[in-house]
């Protein structure tokens, strides 16, 4: 009998045995750096003339791996293999498909530190952030496997005499999965396995900065017995390979997590019907946020400071749920600002192979240059209180940066920076704070810190985000606990890790038989 779902526990690195085990995993992974990773389409492993090096953002002299890049011709080949494989894969029972997820999860659990170590080196994640990423990947597989079994069971219908009625959920077809680099294992695994456990086949185009981690996931999918062709691994330029697949007439759905600009482009392309297309393409999109933590004058100020610092600067602010706006009641504004600035200045920036580092690098040169540009904009729009530039080291290091007295309409208050930058806003009262919180195009996460039940209930109704947290930070959603997805330009509110999610990759079929 299948055990009840439970979240994968995080590793306690204060225990010596865990520290040594993770260090051993880092050593193992470092001995494997620089390898080449081929395109995978069905049973074929394909090399091309075009490759992309994946660099360690903590150490730019270190090549993590080299991925061969696909072109349009290989994208078409992957689509044809996925179409052919779908005809057999859709006939696997939901329980059989779920068992592949459970087997893959078990393999990942045994190699947990190894997968986390790859993220330390390829994505610049700290030990704790990488460990949480791997735990979430395990959670997604365990949760979605159970969900597929649940929705495959007899569905409740109103019964009438003289008929036998049945509602079942069947797969859609071939999907294109385009995950982000910031949760290169968890979100890649979650998006891919949700689609395949539902009976679909997938062309996976991983994020270029983290091609290697996606390749490692492909290895254990194969080890777990996932039939070839169910998932094709197709690294390549988004503007070329990604757009070709999105526009393809046989693409049934696109599952995307990433920037607003790319998400809207995908939605636009998918909405255009092309010759040979027999359906309206389904788009599942998560496109970021401009998330706020609201602190009222009756809040626990130590908790407020700690929540802002952790939510703004963990993983160098490279989370769609990260706190990039701190909206503080005028009565406690100076105290909270002072506390955050003091803590930000104490944070250690450096190579994430060191357990003691608080902030690692940002992921690549594009992110690095974009964030530094926003910091320069911020210097014109607010009062620089901490950070404000590059940090030392042979990597994409940026100082944790705090701006005070920022206008809510300023660019650094409206545009997603995706880096270690937080803007402080002074609110006249709680209503004003909520007004500021709701004044962006996004609506992903938010947090409210107050001891007032009336204010919490007001925020419950009026703070327009998909994931709202009270008296805690606005990051750290857990699969099955906090179904995750946002409103407005944050995406389609797909609620990853929730009971509605697999319905996005299925279609309901009603069969009625007269008795």
Q: Is the dihedral of CA 152, 153, 154, 156 positive or negative?
A: negative
Catalytic residue among 69, 122, 136, 286: 286
Q: How far is residue 170 from each of residues 275, 379, 506, measured CA to CA in Å?
A: 25, 54, 5
Q: Is the dihedral of CA 191, 193, 199, 202 positive or negative?
A: positive
Q: Which tokens is 380 given?
A: 């014109």
Instruction: Clarify whether 286 is annotated catalytic.
Output: yes
DSSP bridge partners of 447 = 293, 469
Which residue, among 175, 181, 320, has the nearest Cα to 260 in the 3D structure? 320
> Which of helix, strand or coil describes residue 394?
coil
Length of the chain: 515
Q: Which tokens is 172 given?
A: 């859609």
CA distance 367 to 362: 7
Contact 294, 459 (CB under 8 A): yes
CA-angle at 460, arms to 458 and 463, nearest 5°? 85
Pairing type for strands 201-204 and 291-295 reads unpaired
Alpha helices in 167-233 (DSSP H): 186-197, 211-223
CA distance 507 to 479: 23
Per-residue b/e over 351-385, b at no fewer than 16 CB within 10 Å? bbbeeebbbbbbbbeebbeebbebbebbeebbeeb
Which residue, among 484, 480, 491, 455, has the nearest Cα to 468 in the 3D structure? 484
Contact 192, 97 (CB under 8 A): no
Alpha helices in 314-402 (DSSP H): 333-346, 365-381
Hunting for tokens 């309409």 — which residue is that? Answer: 409
User: Angle of helix 112-122 relative to helix 127-152, nearest 10 degrees?
Assistant: 120
**Total Cβ atoms within 10 A of residue 324:** 28
The catalytic site residues sit at: 286
């Amino acid at each position: 009998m299948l055990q009840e779902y439970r979240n994968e526990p995080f590793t306690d690195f204060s225990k010596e045995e865990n520290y040594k085990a993770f260090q051993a995993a880092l050593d193992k992974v470092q001995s494997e750096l620089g390898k080449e990773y081929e395109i995978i389409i069905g049973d074929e492993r394909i090399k091309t003339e075009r490759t992309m090096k994946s660099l360690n953002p903590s150490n730019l002299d270190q090549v993590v791996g080299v991925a061969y890049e696909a072109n349009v011709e290989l994208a078409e080949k992957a689509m044809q293999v996925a179409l052919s494989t779908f005809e057999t894969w859709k006939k696997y029972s939901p329980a059989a498909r779920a068992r592949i997820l459970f087997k893959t999860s078990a393999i990942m659990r045994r190699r947990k530190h190894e997968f986390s170590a790859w993220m330390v080196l390829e994505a610049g994640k700290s030990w704790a952030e990488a460990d949480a990423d791997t735990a979430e990947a395990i959670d997604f597989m365990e949760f979605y496997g159970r969900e597929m079994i649940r929705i495959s069971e007899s569905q409740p219908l109103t019964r009438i005499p003289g008929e036998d009625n049945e509602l079942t959920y069947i797969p859609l077809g071939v999907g294109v999965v385009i995950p982000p680099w910031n949760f290169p294992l968890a979100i890649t695994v979650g998006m891919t396995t949700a689609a395949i456990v539902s009976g679909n086949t997938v062309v996976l185009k991983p994020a270029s900065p983290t091609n290697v981690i996606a390749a490692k996931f492909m290895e254990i999918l194969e080890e777990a017995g996932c039939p070839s062709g169910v998932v094709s691994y197709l690294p390549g330029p988004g503007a070329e390979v990604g757009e070709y697949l999105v526009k393809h007439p046989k693409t049934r759905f696109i599952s995307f997590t990433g920037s607003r600009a790319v998400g809207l482009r995908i939605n636009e392309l998918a909405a255009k019907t092309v010759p040979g297309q027999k359906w309206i393409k389904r788009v599942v999109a998560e496109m970021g946020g401009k998330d706020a933590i609201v602190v009222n004058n009756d809040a626990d100020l130590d908790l407020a400071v700690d929540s802002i610092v952790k939510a703004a600067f963990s993983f160098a602010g490279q989370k769609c749920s990260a706190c990039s706006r701190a909206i503080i009641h005028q009565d406690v504004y100076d105290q909270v600002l002072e506390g955050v600035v003091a803590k930000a200045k104490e944070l250690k920036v450096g190579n994430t192979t060191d357990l003691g580092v608080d902030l690692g690098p940002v992921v690549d040169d594009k992110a690095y240059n974009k964030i530094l540009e926003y910091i320069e904009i911020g210097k014109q729009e607010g009062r620089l209180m901490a950070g404000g530039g590059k940090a030392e080291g042979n990597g994409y290091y940026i100082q944790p940066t705090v701006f005070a007295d920022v206008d809510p309409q300023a660019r650094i208050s409206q545009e997603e920076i995706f880096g270690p930058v937080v803007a402080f806003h002074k609110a006249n009262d709680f209503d004003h704070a909520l007004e500021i919180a709701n004044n962006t195009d996004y609506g992903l996460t938010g947090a409210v810190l107050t001891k007032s039940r009336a204010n919490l209930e007001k925020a419950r109704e009026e703070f327009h985000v998909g994931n709202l947290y009270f008296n805690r930070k606005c990051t750290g959603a857990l699969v099955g606990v906090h179904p995750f997805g946002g409103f407005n330009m944050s995406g389609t509110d797909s609620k990853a890790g929730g009971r509605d999610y697999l319905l996005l990759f299925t279609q309901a079929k009603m069969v009625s038989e007269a008795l």
